Amino acid sequence: MRTLVLYTSNTGNTKRYAERIAEGIGADILPFNKRKFKKMSLKDYDTIVYGGWLSGTTIQGVNEFLARWDDMSEKNVLIYAVGMGVVSKESRDNLINSNLLDLYHLRFYQLRGSFDYSKLKFPYTWMIRLGIKGAIQRNDPGTDAETLGRLIETPLEYDDNDGVDRVLSVLHRLASESKE
Ligand SMILES: Cc1cc2nc3c(=O)[nH]c(=O)nc-3n(C[C@H](O)[C@H](O)[C@H](O)COP(=O)(O)O)c2cc1C
């Protein structure tokens, strides 16, 4: 089985997971580049993994990735999204709906990553501050000014080894099935 791992990453978490996945299964790995991806040949790969970081409920780059579905529909396609939020069935379903993933025959995983405001640049710093302001104004549950202020001051560190292992176990199973 020949596997390609593609990823988008702003502060390094999605990249780190992509590297572990690629190393674990022996895959080629590339940062996702919209323009290059439009033209690149996928014919040597029977499995493609796409990792995208989350901004709001959008998996970064996933629309451009899925735009080539016609070239991938006969392959194993796995997508993982990385965000700072707690992983739950509800958040996973929400991501599937928001990114229209149920229109495709693929496997989807939500992994948890770190969040470090000090690593962000404009416009992401502005987007985070705007998001916090909106949550406080709406009085969303658990989003008081103090809690959200902490998000800016204190980095949240999270290493989702279990999530990476879940993706890898599926890839190993697919690899053993392709040998049979
Ligand atoms: C502008 C912005 C919006 C974000 N929105 C969300 C979100 O809605 N849900 C979530 O779980 N994480 C959100 N995050 C957190 C990132 O997805 C998280 O830090 C992730 O680990 C980043 O991956 P990366 O290091 O590969 O860029 C947001 C981060 C930024 C900068």
| Residues 67-86 pLDDT 10s | 999 999 999 999 999 999 99
Report the chain's C-alpha Rg in angstroms. 17
- Report the share of the chain in percent with pLDDT over 90: 86
pLDDT level of residue 142 (50, 70, 90 thresholds): confident
Q: Return the best residue to mutate from 7, 54, 119, 158 for the ligand 1 pocket (most ligand atoms within 8 A of CB).
A: 54
Helix pair angle (13-25, 161-179), 10° resolution: 30
Q: Return the best residue to mutate from 20, 84, 143 for the ligand 1 pocket (most ligand atoms within 8 A of CB).
A: 84
Domains with residue ranges and CATH for the chain: 3-114+157-179 (3.40.50.360), 117-154 (no CATH)
Q: Is 7 a pocket residue for ligand 1 (Cβ < 6 Å)?
A: no
- Atom 8 (ligand 1) nearest CA: 56
Measured distance CA(175)–CA(139) in Å, rounded: 48
| Mean pLDDT of the region 168-174 | 98
Measured distance CA(68)–CA(15) in Å, rounded: 22
pLDDT over threshold 90, residue 179: no
pLDDT tens digits for range 2-31? 999 999 999 999 999 999 999 999 999 999
